[in-house]
Amino acid sequence: MASITASGALVTLILALAAATTADNKPNLPGSAEGLVTTAVAVLVVSAIAALATFAPRAFYPYDVSRLADELVATWSGSENDARLKEVSERLEQLKQLQDGNNSKGALLLVAVILQFVGLGVLAAAAMMAIQA
């Protein structure tokens, strides 16, 4: 959520920059600065979308019931130790699924943070152009 909030704050700064450089309802930004502001807004919006994607639900399949049912019939006469080994094996598979989901969410969040830095850099360049104009 912090990434989304930061993107919102940066877009607010962009709007403040636009308001500060507007006189008589006409923007006073140089043409190249306007392009940079547009680019910064686009990058920050994509950053927020990437951050929101980390909250998207992921498919999780804890057990393959049909396979377990077949194995139950085949190994019903097995030992208690065999049952424990089977349970540990299934739980390790669950852990792998959860780790894969977390890795993809972590990658999306990293992209969102990198895009925020890019957007902030582009916004700073636009502000410098506006100040020098």
Domain extent at residue 83: 2-132
- Number of compact structural domains in the chain: 1
pTM: 0.68
**Alpha-carbon gap, residue 104 to 100, rounded angstroms:** 6
Helix (H) or strand (E) holding 27: strand 26-27
Report mean pLDDT in 10-residue bins for the chain, 133 residues.
Answer: 66 68 63 82 88 83 70 69 79 87 91 91 84 73
**Ranges assigned E (strand) in the chain:** 22-23, 26-27
